[in-house]
A and B are shown apart, each in its own frame.
Chain A
Amino acid sequence: QVQLVQSGAEVKKPGSSVKVSCKASGDTFKNDAFNWVRQAPGQGLEWMGGIFPLFETPNYAQKFHGRVTITADIYTSTVYMELRSLRSEDTAVYYCARAKISHMDVWGKGTTVTVSS
């Protein structure tokens, strides 16, 4: 059974960066895409971007272009999301999710990122 295990909660200063990891177990990594979705307090779900590890080409939501980098390490079956120039509005729970082409069927438990001075 596929599982996604995310790294722990982070507290960051405004202007700094955060890198969240998502390790996949099971025979899923090379054949599927992995996405990052966040939920800020009181807000809805927001797709940030994704990557197909086999091709290593990420795609990003326009909103985050230039500020986010998504990478994948096929040897450790781990996907990473780095968000730079953090501001208070980036305080959110960040989820990774496997996408079977068109739908996200397996999700990590989420990583809370708090941006505060």
Chain B
Amino acid sequence: DIQMTQSPSSLSASVGDRVTITCQASQDINNYLNWYQHKPGKAPKLLIYDASNLETGVPSRFSGSGSGTNFTFTISSLQPEDIATYYCQQYDNLPTFTFGPGTQVDIK
């Protein structure tokens, strides 16, 4: 089974800061990676699919990059409404999926 790791597990940053989260797969998954935002009491929300494609309606401050085993998710300018937990998700072996453990983002 493919294992996913994320770092950091949590971070605290100031409004306007650039925030970067990394996701690593235990084996090559090409670009078969999505990123989701999850706020307490809400349904998860798709932000990035296929590693770098911005979902329709998602602000452009969110971006993703990477391929193979190493991926990066970036918020270019952190906003108060971005407080959430962010998850990467691989789909190299469709129709199965695996989520990363998540990264909790807070405002400093």
| B-binding residues in A (CB < 8 A) | 33, 35, 37, 39, 44-47, 50, 52, 59, 61-62, 95, 97, 99, 101-105, 107-110
Instruction: Give A47 to B99 CA distance when docked, in angstroms.
Output: 7
Let me know if B55 and A105 touch, CB within 8 A. Answer: yes
- Please report whether the interface of chain B is mostly helix, strand, loop or mixed according to DSSP: loop
A62 adjacent to B1 (CB under 8 Å)? yes
In the complex, chain B residues whose CB is within 8 Å of the CB of A33: 95
CA of A61 to CA of B38, assembled, Å: 21
Most B CB within 10 A of own CB, among A99, A101, A102, A109: A102
Which of B34, B95, B100, B101 is the one whose CB lies under 8 Å from A59?
Answer: B95
7 A-B pairs with least C-beta separation: A107-B43, A103-B49, A44-B102, A47-B97, A45-B99, A103-B34, A59-B95
Distance in angstroms between the alpha carbons of A41 and B58 in the assembled complex: 27
Contact A61 B49 (CB under 8 A): no
Chain B positions within 8 Å of A, measured between CB atoms, are: 1, 32, 34, 36, 38, 43-46, 49-50, 55, 85, 87, 89, 91, 94-102
Given contacts A44-B87, A45-B36, A45-B102, contact A104 B95 (CB under 8 A): no
Known contacts being A33-B95, A101-B94, A102-B34, is A45 close to B50, with CB within 8 Å? Answer: no
14 additional contacts (CB under 8 A) given A44-B85, A44-B87 = A44-B101, A44-B102, A45-B36, A45-B38, A45-B44, A45-B99, A46-B99, A47-B98, A50-B97, A52-B95, A59-B95, A95-B44, A103-B49, A104-B36
Residues of A within 8 A of B45 (CB): 107
Q: Hey, which chain A residues are within 8 Å of B101, CB to CB?
A: 44
